[in-house]
Structure 1
Amino acid sequence: MRAIAYDRSGGPVTVRDLPAPTAPDGGVVVRVRATGLCLSDWHGWAGHDPDISEFPHVPGHELAGVVEQVGAGVERWQAGDLVTSPFVCGCGTCQWCRSGDAQVCPDQTQPGFTHHGSWAELVVLHAADANLVAVPDGVTPVAAASLGCRFATAYRAVAHRARVQPGEWVAVVGAGGVGLSAVMVAAARGGRVIAVDRNPDALEAARRAGAEHTILSEDPDPSDVVARLHALSDGGTHVALDAVGSETTCATAVLALRRRGRHVQVGLLPAVDGHPRVPMDRVIGFELDVLGSHGMAASDYPEMLALVADGTLRPQDLVTDVVDLETAARLLPGMRDVPRAGVTVLDLRR
């Protein structure tokens, strides 16, 4: 199969031929039609994920494709099914998976991290009966490929973790793929969204996704942005979401909140230079809730997909670039530093 791979963390990224995988017991091989380019893929390439330890490594964890091969014991799926999957695949048998919380399964697998991912013609997905999700009619593979990490993560963060209610003020710090998804989901739930980003194009995309206000953040000191957030939201937002994952963006989100507000951390905060400082004095003094959000279990997908199918949510509107394998390989090393104003998807049919 053709695939994008690299031989060491931070090393050259190339398109090459690799052996085609076979379906493990309980799992499937999916022929990838489309797969997302996510900042988490950059974190993996940069060496921030300890799960990536065997090389060459194939990135990619957001996907849609057709089941090509079914392993022993799989009951719900057969060759030819059009499917997607969460980026966190639970084992399907532990107490967390049985209770519907596969996103925190201690024996989880993640394509693109624990094993070869979906920036390839073929990808293995484990525990298929627990993790695969049928792509509904009317949802294209490109749109479905954007769901597995950024959109589903944002959906769970906004709807299940923060539980945004109509009329609540919501600050979304960072208007990349997950941030724009959070804006769209929060606005669809009746939230009054304020988006913050340093890229004017991303803020324009946030307005199209439903943001009521936008704030251009040009200063690494968050105090001015925080003051404007408080002014726009009459004393602080009810919910704040860090969709970037840096010391500054985390602090901005926490400080944006009014008393008894809810902070959701979605952007990765890798301890590359030591653990980032978080304004915990504000957390204590304002009695803030601090919530993590790590993907979304397959069992929760039907709720989200119903809203996609009826047009309430339109993840396809967030897709701004569709690229081929060679282009994706060139893009990966620079993804952290390139301004983003939407979602990029790799189309394997190109």
Structure 2
Amino acid sequence: RFMTSFHGIVDRAQVKPGEWVVVHGCGGIGLSAINIASAMGANVIGVDLDSAKLELAKGMGAAHVINAKKTDPISAIFDLTGSGAHVSVDALGVTATCRNSIMSLRKQGRHLQIGLTTAAEQGEIPMPIDRIVTMELQLIGSLGMQASHYPSMLQMVEAKKVTPKAMVTGTCALDGINKIFNEMNTFQNVGVTVINNYN
């Protein structure tokens, strides 16, 4: 998750210091994207439906958080940024987060799609095409990261500029992984669980 977000934020979206970056979905991918964008000097906003995930997002570097269950995220983003985000990330891959990501961008903004769709979307999400055209928006897809890019990410980890350990909220044995997968599939988990016992 962390290297996937690193490639998306640094290599694909090319986030710059001072830019507004909004991350829709504060699971493992989203928390990683928040941490990395913050380390790149961006002003980061985390958006989710879960207050516990938003609290963790603050700890990962989000300057602002928006609970989309309680507030219209697009209006809140424009209130915070003035004219919309420079970069908006869909870290979840559902119709609502993808649409909100695109709609929260300023003119010539960059939508970064990291989240793959769920079974409900089956790989297809409707897009606000007229807005993409009239606002001259960029759509950027990102998946994984080439091994040759690992050194720059690991140097940032070593220098404590990024802190992937901060999003680890639990550990489990290998035989407990099915429970974790079920929680992930229903968006119940907060943070990241690491397997630390393979017996």
TM-score, length basis structure 2 = 0.94
CA distance in 2, matches of 1:262, 1:217: 21
Matched, 1:240 2:91: no
Counterparts of 1:273 and 1:152, CA distance in 2: 25
Three-state SS of the structure 2 residue aligned to 1:287 is coil
Distance 1:273 1:170 in 2: 25
2:176 matched to which residue of 1? Answer: 327
Report the equivalent of 1:200: 51
How far residue 310 of structure 1 moved from its aligned partner, in angstroms, is 1.4
- 1:292-307 equivalent positions in 2, closer than 5 A: 292-307=141-156
1:212-242 per-residue CA deviation (whole Å, 9 max, x = no partner) reads 10000117xx9x2101111101110000000
Question: How many Å apart are 1:349 and its aligned residue?
Answer: 4.6
Alignment of 1:172-251 (within 5 A): 172-218=23-69, 224-251=72-99
Matched AA of 2:9:
V
Deviation, structure 1 residue 329:
2.3
Q: Secondary structure at the match of 2:181?
A: helix
RMSD: 1.6
Residue in structure 2 matched with residue 151 of structure 1 by the alignment:
2
For 1:254-281, what per-residue CA distance to the aligned partner results, in whole angstroms no more than 9, with x for missing partners? 0010000000000002564562212122
Could you tell me which residue of structure 2 aligns to residue 170 of structure 1? 21
Q: After TM superposition, what 4+ stretches of structure 1 lie above 4 angstroms from structure 2? A: 270-274
Percent identity (aligned): 39
Q: What's the secondary structure of 1:258's corresponding residue?
A: strand
Higher helix fraction: Structure 1 or Structure 2? 2
Over 3 Å counting, the alpha-carbon distance change for 1:349 and 1:333 in structure 2 is closer
Deviations 1:44-77 (A, max 9, x none): xxxxxxxxxxxxxxxxxxxxxxxxxxxxxxxxxx
Q: Normalising to structure 1: TM-score of the pair?
A: 0.54
Q: Distance in 2 between matches of 1:340 and 1:158?
A: 23
The equivalences for 1:1-350 within 5 A come to: 150-218=1-69, 224-270=72-118, 272-273=120-121, 275-349=124-198
Partners of 1:339 and 1:286 lie apart in 2 by 35
Corresponding residue pairs, total: 198
Q: What secondary structure does 1:335 align onto?
A: helix
